[in-house]
Amino acid sequence: MARFIFITGGVVSSLGKGLASAALGALLQARGYSVRLRKLDPYLNVDPGTMSPFEHGEVFVTDDGAETDLDLGHYERFTGVAARKTDSISSGRIYSNVLEKERRGDYLGKTIQVIPHVTDEIKDFIAIGEDEVDFMLCEIGGTVGDIEGLPFFEAIRQFSQDKPRGQCIFMHLTLLPWIKASGELKTKPTQHSVKELRSIGLAPDILVCRSEGPIPQKEREKLALFCNVRPDAVIAAQDLKSIYEAPLAYHAEGLDQAVLDAFQITPAPRPALDMWEDVADRIYNPEGQVKVAIVGKYTQLEDAYKSIAEALTHGGIANRVKVNIEWVDAEIFDREDPAPHLEGFHAILVPGGFGERGTEGKIKAAQYAREHEVPYLGICLGMQMAVIEAARNVAGIARAGSEEFDHEAGEKRFEPVVYHLKEWVQGSHRVERKLDDDKGGTMRLGAYDATLTEGSRVAGIYGSTQIEERHRHRYEVDVKYREKLEEAGLCFSGMSPDGRLPEIVEWSDHPWFIGVQFHPELKSKPFEPHPLFADFVRAAKETSRLV
């Protein structure tokens, strides 16, 4: 049966609980243990799928079609364990489940209350699959003191009491601010955060303290004394140049040993960290640099494209080069020539997105890449914009556009080479959707198979003609335009198994121009870079040598 590690946060949000959880999971794996990581979010949205990227960053999609918090991306990138629907839950989903049960009469007429009904639902979620792994790491979103987080804190308190003694521990992540005026590192915010945690019945076994620099021994001893933890369980989490140094940095601080000590696991296997040492060596000792433009419309918040940025880093690791990313607002190209903004880049990536805003700029970016033979990777909407560009400027379909934009505007302006997907095959059954369906969870979500054309560039990159990739979209390139576009030179090199849905397009006479309907960035890892990103960065590296 699994041992449980509950990770909470205090003082401020965005301290890196997700990264700390992922790094700890990687360290436990390095010692030979199996792990699974979970995220419990207190917000009332059922999932982050309907949130603006400005609100919550990117939406991470699992193989089984769940729209989840971006922290699950960290979990996968660091552990290689594919996340599932049962690894992400929100208050919205919890309350929705409870109310559905109440409507069905499952509670036999009882008064429904936060305790025990909501907390029991949370506890049931935490326990899913507990017999499958050695360690279950559960991260509680938000910070201690948030009113919406109280049911989760109460649930994990109850859960730890329900389990045998020594099967659950608590790790609390806080901030040690540096007060420049007085030249002091202050422990008081952490003391207050732990006091708040203890007031609701939770006592941390391990303190992970974020700081800009080292924590002096005096402050460590003070934290241990006032927060009632062992001195060797006060772990410094300093700012790092790369997140992929985190497993090594946390190991050097003794985090994994502190966890094993808290569980009284002794002697413990020594960690095998060769893989992470190789990753760090490739990041800190590159043999060159490439410059990649990401032309998108959520560029003000880099978390909106978190997995893409990380996948490009992985591509750099594979090619032993540093990838310098520059974020370019697609809306600039609505009113300005893209050439001055895109000259000097070794590759261009156009990511996914929703709505018409910025799409004409993305089309111009695709046109620039095609005409100037700059390596181009279009993802989801980025592929659709490349198809529209080809239709307008090469295949002679002057009014080519997307049905999505006409729906948004409420008037028909385009010839829809991209249309609203109303039905598709998922496994052994057919899925049907209408335009007026609810927005949440109604897209083509999760892993789907694709068949690649023998001899195509993508088949060479993958080394196979059969692949499986994750999707998140409700609009699709219309296959009825395939013949006309292929006559113009745009090859449909990847299709759904039934041949009805285009998955990949490429210009065969271009050095490297590929558009994919799926999201390859979601499956990339530092120790296993996605082949598309590895080859995209390789192409950028070749371009950098020609410039």
In this predicted model, what pLDDT tens digit does every residue of 61-77 receive, in sequence order?
999 999 998 899 999 99
288 pLDDT more than 70: yes
**DSSP character string of 205-239:** SEEEEEESS---HHHHHHHHHHHT--GGGEEEEE-
In percent, the amount of the chain with pLDDT more than 70 equals 95
Q: Give the pLDDT band of residue 351 (cuts 50, 70, 90).
A: very high
What is the rounded CA–CA span in Å between residue 2 and residue 5?
Answer: 10
- pTM here is 0.92
Annotated binding-site residues read 13-19, 71, 139, 146-148, 186-191, 222, 240, 353, 381-384, 404, 474
What is the rounded CA–CA span in Å between residue 513 and residue 369?
Answer: 8
The pLDDT, as a whole number, for residue 434 is 62
In this predicted model, what pLDDT tens digit does every residue of 192-244 receive, in sequence order?
999 999 999 999 999 999 998 889 999 999 999 999 999 999 999 998 999 99
Name the more confident of 312 and 427.
312
433 pLDDT more than 70: no
Q: Which of 10-14, 115-119, 270-274 has the lowest mean pLDDT?
A: 10-14
Report how far Cα 481 is from the mean position of its chain's Cα atoms: 33
What does pLDDT average to over the chain?
92
- Based on the number of CB atoms within 10 Å of its own CB, is 270 exposed (0-12), middle (13-18) or buried (19 or more)? exposed
442 pLDDT more than 90: no
396 pLDDT more than 60: yes
Residue with tokens 């049960």: 101
432 pLDDT more than 70: no
The pLDDT, as a whole number, for residue 427 is 60
The pLDDT, as a whole number, for residue 436 is 56
In this predicted model, what pLDDT tens digit does every residue of 363-375 receive, in sequence order?
999 999 999 999 9
What is the rounded CA–CA span in Å between residue 294 and residue 506?
Answer: 19
The pLDDT, as a whole number, for residue 355 is 83
Residue 356: closest CA among 397, 299, 414: 414
**Dihedral (CA of 206, 211, 216, 221) sign:** negative
The pLDDT, as a whole number, for residue 221 is 94
What is the rounded CA–CA span in Å between residue 165 and residue 325?
Answer: 49
The pLDDT, as a whole number, for residue 441 is 53
Residue 451: closest CA among 438, 433, 467, 432: 467
The pLDDT, as a whole number, for residue 297 is 83
Mean pLDDT, to the nearest integer, of 156-161?
97
User: Any alpha helices (H) in 15-104, and if so which ranges?
Assistant: 17-30, 53-56, 71-79, 91-104
Name the more confident of 136 and 436.
136
Residues assigned a catalytic role? 380, 519, 521
Mean pLDDT, to the nearest integer, of 112-118?
95
Annotated binding-site residues for L-glutamine read 353, 381-384, 404, 474
Amino acid at 111: T
Mean pLDDT, to the nearest integer, of 375-383?
96
In this predicted model, what pLDDT tens digit does every residue of 332-347 receive, in sequence order?
988 889 899 999 999 9
Contact criterion met (CB below 8 Å) for 6 and 140: yes
Annotated binding-site residues for ATP read 14-19, 71, 240
